[in-house]
Structure 1
Amino acid sequence: MTDQLTYLLQKLDASAHRYAELDKYYEGRQPLAFLSPEARTALGSRFGRMASNIPRLAVTALAERLRITGFSDPALWADWVRCDLDQTSGTAHREALLLGDAYVIVWADRLGRPAVSVESAKQVTVMTDPGTRQITAAVKRWEDRIAKTSTAVLYEPDRITRLVANQIGAVGSGFKVVDEIANPLGTVPVVRLHNSDRILDRHWHSEFDGRGHSEIDDLIPLVDALNKSLADLMTTSEYVGRPRRWATGIELTEEPVLDEDGNETGETVEVNPLPESHRMMISESPDSKFGQLQAADLQGYEASVRVILGQIMAVSTLPAHYVGVFTDNPASADALRAAEASLTARAEARQATFGRSWEQVAKLMIAVRDGRDPQLIDDVRVQWADAATRSVAQEADAVVKLHQAGLLPVSTALAKLGYSADEIAEIRVARRAEALDTAGLDLGRPA
């Protein structure tokens, strides 16, 4: 167990730097890149946070299209809602899209009901079998900064072990076992949402087994270039974007030089008698002349920003109206769907990727609820909301036509319109009540 625990904890620590960098780009806190030393000196601290937060947009644009609406087992939805997974499943998707991985732990609460929690890849990691690619062990580690202790829970197919270390950032040898219970599920109750379109992932030459792919990995250099162009634009606008005025034939004025305490030192310095803040310039000298320099043309920076945004759109599949290119704004609902076709296809691919993980979560929930072996549970299918953007009128019109043609029953039609299982049940109850009321009124009429 010690070697296994040490490997998993080292794997967690090895990912810390990468996750910290991804967090900075997601929050728009990354430092400016591609800047010359002269530009950094000129900027100082005024534009230190110049960032166009495209990475967050790329993640949320996909995550908002990954909405689970139900399962092939209708009885599972009540436990799903009770565990707040109708809310936290979206968080799991954002974590997986950003960090490459997210995790879900399934266990039982004190009443024997399924208890499910969404976990971050910063605290949880897994070990997989190279042959079957099944999870053979997992660990969750967290730290108490006040008590200065580290706690780890090691999940194995036959047991679950809780360990504590009296230090921050402890490794395997620093932990002591404080509790151990049997695992009646016979499998590791940890499921990984793995964001990858490849079989083997070995990013940045890591010695550990594959980590998922972040949606912003390919965007990082492009976002750096975009922020640099924006910073150059702001710098040029600050210094030469506004027309500068000049004057000749005016004598400079002298002002005393003061020390740190505000006392005169006896020295003087010549200053401009007409500072930039003056709205009007007056001179009594007949030789005075005034003029204005031509302002800098900022169109070159605009062209640079558009070129970089074009590359960002190509890599991230974000349509033009998502990144602020308003000249290409779709003029109709059909044009909007066409512009978002690539983003929709990517979202549907993520639905297929994450769907297998959520099906495994569903099997574990059923196993906890019914006391069954999760390996013997039939396949449970996840039902997703449509990833495409469609207006309410378009969606309703298409579904109504299919229902009137007899191709879709009412429940399926409501599900295609985006209603959850609970909402469909409420609608069916309300329709049944209305039908009974109508029947009662008809029976009460005189013949």
Structure 2
Amino acid sequence: MKRSELEWLKHLIKCHDEEKRELKLLDLYYEGAQPLSYMAPELLAELDERVRQVVVNWPQLVADSIEERLDVEGFRFPGEAAADAELWRIWQANNLDEQSQQGHLDALVMKRSYVVVGADEAAPLTPLITVESALDMHVERDPRTRRVAAAVKRWSEDGETGRKVDHATLYLPNATVWFVKDSGEWVEDPEFERDDHELGEVPVVVLANRGRLKCQGGVSEYKAVIPLSDAACKIATDMMVSAEYHATPRRVAFGFGEEDFVDESGRRVSAFSRIIGRMWATERHRGAGPDGGADVVQFPEASLGNFHDTINQLARLVASLAGLPPHFLGYATENPTSADAIRSSESRLVKRAERKQRAWGGAWEQVMRLALRIRDGAWDDDARSLETLWRDASTPTIAQKADAATKLFTAKIVPLRQTREDMGYTQAQIERMEQQDAEAAEDALQRVLAGDLAALEAGPKPQPPDEARPDEPDPASGEPVPVGG
């Protein structure tokens, strides 16, 4: 269905408003500010504001554990051994080292984030790339091609009268249009000139987490963890209430009347404490004879072990669902876990991170293709086969990495540059090493040409090609040649 620009804008804003409540709730879970669940309304009313929720913030742990393993290190054209310096310059000029991490985290938390590519009038050779939150942007895909058909970005700022003014940017395949809300209606913003870029493609790329065939918008990484986290927060809060009222010994008094309960000023107070569990009292002790009698009995304190066991069981379920190693959730055993066992326990987490690298690597490659198109004015065919370079998502020790890389290089399975990449060096570090290698080789060559034979000490000694070497058969007689002639 064809829509006008204003119809697209209103449609996208309506769809965005419908999902913003869920997105804000997901964001609250990451910040540890989610509402308390599973607590009885009667208990909440009785506790009033005296008890705060104890937050066991497992959703934040789940998101951070994956995001910490997602670092882009460069882009490589097909057939090239090294990362492309120009693409990395554009990346660094837009501070995407920092913005990419924030985009990855928001996608893990709120199902998706967005990357917008545009021209920068102040720097024509450096396209402008920004990473945007799902709280500010929304896109709609073409059901046939699954490409982005239109996108909107919304924000508010203080106007001249001090009131908030709503702004929006509409992104379409061939134009970008800015709008402002005036007297409750959206109109084109006179401060911005529309950009008829004629790209044929919306300059917005979606970083969707766990995109599926019927759910291209993604799924929050901790959707399955939220019910368990809510349960843990409720149990932890109950544990604190029990620690206040039942984990210390309590007393009950028999044979006291209400007139016996006064404060330090002599004013009468209630015989029954309004705070649950402090003291139970009765006026007469039935077993103390006809005249009654005063008596005070102390109850034993309650154990909190049942709360500990429940939280530990919930933690095991979270580790299973999220693929987290046990030590991430504080599990400890009497025998220290070996380094190999720790790395083995991280295998599922590493695989999840590698899946993100594959999916989001394609998104970042599309971002760089758009950047080249905006800079050059034409699509680069070679850029269709761009490769995103990621840092190793696993955590092997330096000694293990060095041993494995050295063996592969010695066996001539991989070249020196790949060996250095396997060691975890960045592209900038590798290029600096290669420059130093070239300078050292040039220096050695110049020394040899100048007659400094000591420059050959580190290399193999040259052998006369036509003379038999020691212990090799003489070509004429077939007898071995003795050492020394």
TM-score normalised by L of structure 2: 0.78
- Alignment-mate amino acid for residue 418 of structure 2: T
Equivalent position of 2:94 in the other structure: 83
What are the residue-to-residue correspondences of 1:324-403 with 2, within 5 Å? 324-327=330-333, 331-373=337-379, 377-403=383-409
2:11 matches 1:13? no
CA drift of 1:371 comes to: 2.6
Provide the rounded CA distance (Å) in 1 between the counterparts of 2:323 and 2:230: 18
- Contact conserved, 2:53 with 2:237, CA < 8 A, in 1? no
Provide the rounded CA distance (Å) in 1 between the counterparts of 2:61 and 2:268: 55
Equivalent position of 2:114 in the other structure: 103
Aligned length: 416
Which among 35, 52, 56 is matched to residue 52 of structure 1?
56
Q: 1:328 to 1:8 in 2, by over 3 A?
A: farther
- Alignment-mate amino acid for residue 106 of structure 1: V
CA drift of 1:197 comes to: 4.2
Q: Deviations over 1:113-169 (max 9, x none)?
A: 2221111111111121100101121111111144521111111121111111136xx
2:191 matches 1:175? no
Provide the rounded CA distance (Å) in 1 between the counterparts of 2:305 and 2:67: 35
Equivalent position of 1:419 in the other structure: 425
Q: Deviations over 1:334-371 (max 9, x none)?
A: 11121111111111111122121111012112222333
Equivalent position of 2:435 in the other structure: 429
- Alignment-mate amino acid for residue 409 of structure 2: H
2:152 matches 1:139? yes
Q: Deviations over 1:21-79 (max 9, x none)?
A: 11111111112111123432454434423101111111011111111112113131121
Provide the rounded CA distance (Å) in 2 between the counterparts of 1:311 and 1:254: 50
CA drift of 1:330 comes to: 6.6
- Contact conserved, 1:52 with 1:226, CA < 8 A, in 2? yes
Q: 1:249 to 1:256 in 2, by over 3 A?
A: closer
Provide the rounded CA distance (Å) in 2 between the counterparts of 1:377 and 1:388: 28
Report the 3-state secondary structure (helix = DSSP H, G, I; strand = E; otherwise coil) of the residue aligned with 2:330: coil
Equivalent position of 1:200 in the other structure: 214
Q: 1:395 to 1:292 in 2, by over 3 A?
A: farther
Provide the rounded CA distance (Å) in 2 between the counterparts of 1:426 and 1:376: 26
CA RMSD in angstroms, aligned pairs only: 3.1
- Alignment-mate amino acid for residue 2 of structure 1: L
Long gaps (5+) in structure 1: 202-209, 259-263, 273-286
- Contact conserved, 1:142 with 1:152, CA < 8 A, in 2? yes
- Alignment-mate amino acid for residue 187 of structure 1: E
Q: 1:435 to 1:330 in 2, by over 3 A?
A: farther
Q: 1:248 to 1:376 in 2, by over 3 A?
A: same
Q: 1:376 to 1:132 in 2, by over 3 A?
A: farther
Provide the rounded CA distance (Å) in 2 between the counterparts of 1:127 and 1:343: 31
Report the 3-state secondary structure (helix = DSSP H, G, I; strand = E; otherwise coil) of the residue aligned with 1:70: strand
Provide the rounded CA distance (Å) in 2 between the counterparts of 1:323 and 1:329: 17
Provide the rounded CA distance (Å) in 2 between the counterparts of 1:177 and 1:391: 56
CA drift of 1:421 comes to: 1.7
Equivalent position of 1:68 in the other structure: 72
Q: Deviations over 1:75-109 (max 9, x none)?
A: 31121112111221111100111111110011122
Which among 10, 14, 30 is matched to residue 26 of structure 1?
30
Structure with greater Cα Rg? 2
Q: Deviations over 1:276-319 (max 9, x none)?
A: xxxxxxxxxxx998875322121111111111112111211112
Equivalent position of 1:92 in the other structure: 103
Provide the rounded CA distance (Å) in 2 between the counterparts of 1:96 and 1:376: 29
% identical equivalent positions = 34
Provide the rounded CA distance (Å) in 2 between the counterparts of 1:212 and 1:118: 17
Equivalent position of 1:205 in the other structure: none
Report the 3-state secondary structure (helix = DSSP H, G, I; strand = E; otherwise coil) of the residue aligned with 2:195: strand
Provide the rounded CA distance (Å) in 1 between the counterparts of 2:245 and 2:42: 14
TM-score normalised by L of structure 1: 0.84
- Contact conserved, 1:255 with 1:271, CA < 8 A, in 2? no
